[in-house]
Amino acid sequence: MKLYYGWVIVAVGVVVGCVGMGGLMSFGVFLLPMADSLGWSRAEISTGSTLAFLSMGIGGFLWGRLYDRYGARVVVLFGGLLQGLGLVLASQAQSLPWFLAAYGMVAGLAVGAVYVPLTAATASWFTRHRSLAVSLVSAGLALGTTLIAPFARWLIVTHDWRFAMCALGLMAWAVIVPAALLLRPVVIGETTTAIVAERTDMTLAQALRTPVFWSLALANFACCAAHSGPIFHMVSYAAECGVAPLTAATVLGAAGLAALSGRIVCGLLADRMGAKHTLVACLALQAVAIALYLPARDLSTLYAVSMLFGFSYGGAMPLYAILVREYFPAAIMGSVFGVVAMISTLGMALGAPVGGWLFDHFRGYGWLYVASSAIGVAAALIAMTVRAHRVPTVAVSAAV
């Protein structure tokens, strides 16, 4: 039996997502070592994360437009080269502007070439199992947090933060670049998948004027604004609770492992219950999990809350791409999802500096979790406003 090539695309997405996003999402383990080594404040260092996510958002839109024109192979290949360069340059930073430019702009821009094009490419290869396939690719992002963050922490402990960040850059070159060569566009004659024929005359400008686009974009923004602070300050919060530095990194790893399972489980649920209902449930659970950090002080409780938190935000993240693909044509999937991702990264950009500012001014993370939980509730309410606005089809056939 011949393997459907769509599953090869999924496998590439998992591996590339793990290495690509893992290099960005492991930023939390660098925060304290960089502060101790360079004498910069947490807020100053966290600005690098802010710029990285802003750059990733802008890059997501630009790479998405390039994906619609040139396909995933070219975009991911250049993104991998750029990410390796950004991380290697950042590892040699002697000044804050150098670090912000290399990590916050170059590496951040490159990650947009991993997330949006791979998600769009996977969605184009599947119809009936689309939720599961996209969720598996998204699981690679969580796998990156689970594996890369503890690995980076180990390198920091055994060497230093510069060695660890340089190693992540070299890993991006070694893994992403060759993996990108396996990507190829859908060729209907070579597959057994029957594609749903749909209208393709909708433009990006028309898509951006629809209510469903703004419901998805704002829900994604609020979702990311809610969980970005708890993610990036998780290791620091665990350390504030008296957890040893290397053990504190495993709390972030536990959240990443739970996010991995959340993506897969919620992808299966979305294929059965619908992506919208699954998304609302995940966002509500995320708000509750964030609030539970307030009484969590010992290691076992931190593990439990972090796993609940990881499952909820991990389950939600791939559902936005699935809903975008359901409501908009494949011809503009990269561009539309790129704009949604760009808006969401504004929310991700808030968490690190706002969390650092709250800690510096209130000497604790309590207000971070209060604000993040409230924003999480808002995300769930916004997601409930998504209405069925599916792109009309002209012919429907059975799909694999």
DSSP 69-105: HH-HHHHHHHHHHHHHHHHHHHHT--SHHHHIIIIII
User: What phi, psi does 243 have (nearest 5°)?
Assistant: -80, 140
Ranges of residues in the chain whose predicted pLDDT is under 70: 1, 142, 145, 187-201, 352, 388-400
Q: Extract the tokens encoding 8.
A: 């090869």
pLDDT digits (tens, 9 = 90+) for 303-351: 999 999 999 998 898 889 888 888 888 778 888 888 888 888 788 777 7
Tell me, yes or no, whether 312 lies in a domain.
Answer: yes
CA 397 to chain centre: 33
* Token digits of residue 110: 């490159």
Residue 1 maps to a domain: no
The answer to whether residue 145 sits within a structural domain is: yes
Residue type, 225: A
Q: What does the pLDDT read at residue 241? A: 82
Picking from 62, 13, 75, the residue whose alpha carbon sits closest to that of residue 338 is 62
Residues 50/255, Cβ–Cβ less than 8 Å: no
The verdict on residue 400 lying in a domain is no
Helix axes 108-125, 6-25, angle to 10 degrees: 160
Q: In sequence order, which ranges of the chain are alpha helices (DSSP H)?
A: 6-25, 28-38, 42-70, 72-91, 96-99, 108-125, 130-158, 161-180, 204-208, 211-232, 234-240, 245-273, 275-291, 299-327, 333-362, 366-383
Place of tokens 């990156």: 144
Number of structural domains found in the chain: 1
CA dist 45 and 35 (Å) reads 7
Q: What is the pLDDT of residue 90?
A: 92
Q: Which two tokens stand for residue 356?
A: 């650092």
Note the pLDDT of residue 88. 93
Angle formed by the axes of helices 108-125 and 42-70, nearest 10° = 40
Residue 28 covered by a domain: yes
Question: Helices 130-158 & 6-25, crossing angle to 10 degrees?
Answer: 40
Indicate the DSSP class of residue 203.
-
Q: At what angle do helices 211-232 and 333-362 cross, to 10 degrees?
A: 40
Domain that holds residue 308: 6-395
Residue 337 maps to a domain:
yes
Q: Which CATH number goes with the domain that contains 69?
A: 1.20.1250.20
Residue 109 makes CB contacts below 8 A (sequence gap 6+) with 55, 56, 58, 59, 82, 86
Predicted pLDDT at 312: 93
